C-alpha cells in the first residue's frame, strides 16, 4: 500500500510533517491551498479514517499510525481555537 507524507504550515508558521498510510489524502487536501483550521482537521480526519480502513481491508487491522497522526493534528489544531481566520497551508506531498 503506497504511503505518503504531507507537510503543513500552521497559523503560527510552525510546520508539521504528517503521515498517511494511503494516497487518499490527495483526494482531500491540495498542495498550495490554505484551509481554515477546523476544515483542515475535518478533511484530515476523513482522509486518515479512510486510509486506516484501507489498511484494515488489506491487512486485517486498522492503522494505528494514521490514528496517531490524526490525534497529533487535532492537538496542534486546538492551539488555534481562539484565533479568528486561522488557516493551515498544505506545503507538499512526498512519498
Per residue in 30-62, pLDDT (tens digit) is 999 999 999 999 999 999 999 999 999 999 999
For residues 21 and 63, the answer to whether their CB atoms sit within 8 Å is yes
8 has pLDDT over 80: yes
Any bridge partners for residue 89, and if so which? Answer: 9, 34
Cell of 80: 488555534
Pairwise CA distance, residues 37 & 59, whole Å: 32
pTM above 0.85, yes or no: yes
- Chain-wide mean pLDDT for the chain? 96
Amino acid at each position: 500500500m503506497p504511503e505518503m507524507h504531507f507537510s503543513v504550515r500552521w497559523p503560527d508558521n510552525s510546520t508539521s510533517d504528517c503521515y498517511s498510510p494511503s494516497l487518499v489524502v490527495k483526494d482531500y487536501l491540495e498542495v498550495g491551498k490554505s484551509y481554515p483550521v477546523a476544515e483542515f482537521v475535518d478533511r484530515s480526519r476523513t482522509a486518515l479514517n479512510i486510509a486506516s480502513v484501507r489498511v484494515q481491508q488489506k491487512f486485517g487491522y486498522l492503522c494505528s499510525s494514521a490514528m496517531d497522526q490524526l490525534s497529533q493534528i487535532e492537538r496542534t489544531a486546538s492551539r488555534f481555537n481562539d484565533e479568528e481566520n486561522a488557516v493551515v497551508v498544505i506545503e507538499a506531498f512526498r512519498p
